[in-house]
C-alpha cells in the first residue's frame, strides 16, 4: 500500500520515497506546521505485528532522541497512527557516504581524515551518553550538500550494559561487511566495536572497497575473525603512512590491541593532518603474549674447583652472578610500569561547573586542566547572557579522562519577536501564527461582540508591531458571536466610484461618506482607501466610507511682490533674500536699487509653502503661498 501523499500526525505530508531497508522505509515529507522539509521513517507495515521489530524501532527513536550533536541526525517527533509507527527526523538533502565513495574516483587523504573526525565526533557523543551504535557503515552516514556529515540509523543501538552480549545466530545485527570480530562471534559488544566498524569505513574511503568480501555472510564474518587486512599494492604510495597505521590499529582483531576509546582515535586523526607521514601511532601490548622463562645459570668447573673448599666464598660468587639479572628484572619492571601507565592508566579530573560563564573565561579554566571546549550549538536563551555557556556535557561533578573534551552550548542571548497582527483572524489560525513566531498564548477570553463573527479574535493583549522576548505570553479575546447578522467587507480600493457603490449592494453594505483628495498615483475617480478595511466582519447594512482620488494636485505659478521704501535704507542698493521656512533653502537672492520701489519675483513651486523675506539682511516679513489655488498672487 502506497503512503505517498498521506498526511501523518496531522502535519507531515509524505512527498516521495528517499530510502529504505529491511525494517523501515524513509520518505521526504513536508511539515505544514513549521513549513519545513523533514524525513519520516516508517516501520514496514508487514512488521507492525512483530514485537521485536516494533521494540527495535522504538529503541532507535529513544537512542537518537537522547543525543544532540551537529554530526548526528536530529529527531523531531515520534508517533503512532493506526498501524503506522513513524519517526520524524532532520532532512539531509545530500546522499550517503556510500554514494559519495562510489561516485568519487579518488578521495584525498585530508578529506578522508576530516570525514572520519566528524563521524568520530558523533560516535564520541553517543559513547558519552552510554550508547553504542553497533551499525556504523557508509549507508548510515549522510552527507549534506554543504559537506556536513550526519550519522543516522540508531535502529540497533543499545546502552552499554550486559545486554550488549549478543547471542550467536539470528540476533547478530549490523551489516556483515562492517562487522567487528566480536559481533561476528556473537560476543560482547562495546564502544570498541564501533571503532572497528569505523576502521572498515576508513579503509573503504582509502581504497574504494571493503577489506573483506565473500560469497556469503558467513564467509565474510569468518574473514573478520581470522584474516588480516591487505592493502592493495596500487594504494601503497597514495595513502600516507600515518593514516594507514590508524586504520590498521582500528581494525585490530583483539580488543586490547585496538584503540581503547574514540578520543584516542580522534587525537591520532587530528595529528595525521599535520603529520601525514609521522610515526606516532603506538601499538598496544597484547594480553596473550606468552610467558618467557629464563634458563638455569650454570657454574664453570674452574670456579667450582677454585672455591670447593669454601662455602662462604661460593655463596658470595653466586650472589655476584645474579646481580646483573636483578638489575635486568628491575629495569624490565620499571619499563613495564611505564608502558602500562601510558596505555592503560588514565588520569581523571572532576568536571568544573562552567554554566553561565563566558566562553573565554571557561576556556582559561579548562585549558589549565588539559580539557578542551567543543562548541556543539549556539542557541537563544532569555536567561543566559550572550556569549555565556548554557549547558555542558559531561555535567559538573562528573569525572573526565585527561586529556578530555567538554561539549558546550553557547547562548546567543534573548531572541526578540515582532508581535504579528491577529485581529480579525480565526482563533486556531491566530494561535498557530503566534506560536510559530515563538509566543505563548496564555489565555483566551470568549465574549459577545457585534463587530466580529463567532470564533474570530477581537483583541490581543500586546499590540502588533511591538518587539518582545521569545516565549512572551499573550492573551487573546475571541468573539462568542454577534447579536446581529454580519458580512465580510470586500476590497473596493482601485475601483471606480460607481462600481464600488454597486459592489456595496451586492455585499449587503451601504454607501457612507465620500471624501476627495489629491493623489499623484491614483487616477481621478478611483477609490484610494476605505473604512472599514477589507476582510473584517461588520453588521449587515453597515455604511462604508470611501476616499476618492481627485487627480494630481494642481500647481499654479505665483508672483511675490516686495516693496522698498527709500527712507528705510541708508544705501542705494540692498540685498534681498527669500528662504523656505521648512528646510531653510534659499529660493531667491539678489541686490536691488532702492529706487525700484516694487520688486516682483516669479515663484514656481508646489503645495503650500511658507517663506521668510530678508531685506538688507533683516527679516522683513513671513508669507504663505498656496500654489494649488488659481486665484491670488
For the chain, count helices (H), then strands (E): 13, 31
Q: Which residue has the cell 457612507?
A: 512
DSSP secondary-structure letter at 358? Answer: B
Which three cell numbers, joined as nine digits, stand for 417? 519577536
Give the contacts of 578 (CB within 8 A, at least 6 positions apart): 560, 586, 587, 588, 589, 601, 611, 612, 613, 614
Taking the CA of residue 98 as centre, how many other CA atoms within 13 Å lie in the half-sphere pointing to its CB? 11
**Omega of the bond prior to 403 within 30 degrees of 0, cis?**
yes
* CA distances to 155, 161, 200, 234 from 116, in Å: 21, 26, 11, 22
> Considering 135, 268, 393, 449, which one is annotated as catalytic?
135
**Omega of the bond prior to 27 within 30 degrees of 0, cis?**
no
Q: Specify which residues 274 forms β-bridges with.
A: none
Concerning whether 135 is annotated as a catalytic residue, the answer is yes
Which three cell numbers, joined as nine digits, stand for 180? 567487528
Pairing between β-strand 473-479 and β-strand 440-447 as defined by DSSP bridges: parallel
**Omega of the bond prior to 394 within 30 degrees of 0, cis?**
yes
Backbone φ and ψ for 623, nearest 5 degrees, come out as -130, 155
Task: Report yes or no: 42 and 29 within 8 Å, Cβ to Cβ.
Answer: no
**Other CB atoms within 10 A of residue 417 CB:** 17
Q: What is the three-class DSSP state of 583?
A: coil
Task: Report yes or no: 14 and 29 within 8 Å, Cβ to Cβ.
Answer: yes
Q: Which residues are catalytic?
A: 135
Amino acid at each position: 500500500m502506497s503512503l505517498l501523499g498521506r498526511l501523518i500526525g496531522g502535519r507531515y505530508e509524505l512527498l516521495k520515497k528517499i530510502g529504505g531497508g529491511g525494517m523501515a522505509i524513509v520518505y521526504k515529507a513536508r511539515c505544514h506546521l513549521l513549513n519545513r522539509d523533514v524525513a519520516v521513517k516508517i516501520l514496514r507495515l508487514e512488521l507492525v505485528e512483530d514485537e521485536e521489530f516494533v521494540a527495535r524501532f522504538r529503541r532507535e527513536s529513544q537512542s537518537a532522541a537522547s543525543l544532540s550533536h551537529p554530526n548526528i541526525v536530529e529527531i523531531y517527533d515520534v508517533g503512532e497512527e493506526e498501524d503506522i509507527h513513524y519517526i520524524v527526523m532532520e532532512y539531509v538533502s545530500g546522499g550517503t557516504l556510500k554514494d559519495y565513495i562510489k561516485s568519487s574516483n579518488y578521495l584525498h587523504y585530508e578529506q578522508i581524515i576530516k570525514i572520519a573526525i566528524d563521524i568520530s565526533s558523533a560516535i564520541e557523543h553517543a559513547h558519552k551518553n552510554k550508547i553504542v551504535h553497533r551499525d556504523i557503515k557508509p549507508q548510515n552516514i549522510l552527507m549534506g550538500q554543504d559537506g556536513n556529515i550526519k550519522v543516522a540509523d540508531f535502529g540497533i543501538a543499545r546502552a552499554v550494559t550486559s545486554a550488549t552480549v549478543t547471542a550467536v545466530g539470528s540476533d547478530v545485527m549490523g551489516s556483515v561487511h562492517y562487522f567487528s570480530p566480536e559481533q561476528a562471534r556473537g560476543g560482547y559488544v562495546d564502544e570498541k566495536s564501533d571503532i572497528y566498524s569505523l576502521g572498515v569505513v576508513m579503509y573503504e574511503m582509502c581504497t574504494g572497497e571493503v577489506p573483506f568480501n565473500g560469497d556469503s555472510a558467513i564467509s565474510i564474518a569468518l574473514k573478520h575473525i581470522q584474516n588480516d587486512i591487505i592493502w592493495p599494492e596500487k594504494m601503497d604510495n597514495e595513502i600516507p603512512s600515518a593514516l594507514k597505521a590508524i586504520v590498521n590499529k582500528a581494525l585490530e582483531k583483539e580488543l586490547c590491541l585496538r584503540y581503547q576509546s574514540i578520543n584516542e582515535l580522534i587525537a591520532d586523526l587530528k595529528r595525521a593532518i599535520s603529520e601525514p607521514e609521522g610515526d606516532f601511532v603506538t601499538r598496544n601490548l597484547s594480553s596473550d603474549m606468552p610467558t618467557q622463562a629464563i634458563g638455569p645459570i650454570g657454574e664453570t668447573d674452574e670456579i667450582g674447583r677454585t672455591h670447593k673448599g669454601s662455602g662462604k666464598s661460593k655463596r658470595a660468587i653466586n650472589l655476584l652472578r645474579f646481580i646483573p639479572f636483578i638489575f635486568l628484572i628491575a629495569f624490565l619492571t620499571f619499563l613495564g610500569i611505564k608502558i602500562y601507565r601510558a596505555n592503560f592508566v588514565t588520569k581523571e579530573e572532576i568536571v568544573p561547573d562552567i554554566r553561565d560563564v563566558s566562553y573565554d573565561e571557561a576556556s582559561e579554566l579548562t585549558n589549565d586542566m588539559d580539557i578542551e571546549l567543543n562548541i556543539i550549538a549556539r542557541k537563544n536563551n532569555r536567561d543566559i547572557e550572550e556569549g555565556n555557556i548554557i549547558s555542558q556535557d559531561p555535567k559538573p561533578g562528573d569525572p573526565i579522562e585527561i586529556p578530555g573534551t567538554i561539549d558546550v552550548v553557547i547562548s546567543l542571548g534573548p531572541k526578540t519577536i515582532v508581535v504579528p497582527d491577529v485581529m480579525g483572524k480565526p482563533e486556531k489560525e491566530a494561535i498557530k501564527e503566534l506560536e510559530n513566531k515563538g509566543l505563548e498564548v496564555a489565555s483566551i477570553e470568549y465574549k459577545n461582540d457585534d463587530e466580529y463573527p463567532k470564533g474570530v479574535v477581537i483583541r490581543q493583549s500586546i499590540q502588533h508591531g511591538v518587539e518582545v522576548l521569545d516565549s512572551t505570553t499573550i492573551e487573546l479575546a475571541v468573539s462568542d458571536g454577534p447579536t446581529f447578522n454580519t458580512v465580510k467587507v470586500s476590497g473596493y480600493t482601485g475601483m471606480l466610484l460607481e462600481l464600488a457603490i454597486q459592489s456595496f449592494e451586492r455585499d449587503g453594505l451601504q454607501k457612507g461618506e465620500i471624501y476627495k483628495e489629491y493623489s499623484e498615483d491614483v487616477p481621478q475617480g478611483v477609490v484610494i482607501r476605505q473604512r472599514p478595511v477589507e476582510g473584517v466582519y461588520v453588521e449587515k447594512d453597515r455604511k462604508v466610507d470611501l476616499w476618492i482620488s481627485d487627480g494630481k494636485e494642481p500647481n499654479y505659478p505665483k508672483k511675490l511682490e516686495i516693496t522698498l521704501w527709500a527712507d528705510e535704507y541708508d544705501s542705494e542698493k540692498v540685498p534681498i533674500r527669500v528662504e523656505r521656512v521648512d528646510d531653510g533653502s534659499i529660493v531667491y537672492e539678489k541686490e536691488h536699487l532702492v529706487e525700484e520701489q516694487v520688486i516682483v519675483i516669479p515663484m514656481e513651486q508646489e503645495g503650500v509653502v511658507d517663506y521668510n523675506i530678508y531685506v538688507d539682511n533683516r527679516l522683513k516679513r513671513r508669507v504663505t503661498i498656496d500654489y494649488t489655488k488659481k486665484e491670488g498672487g
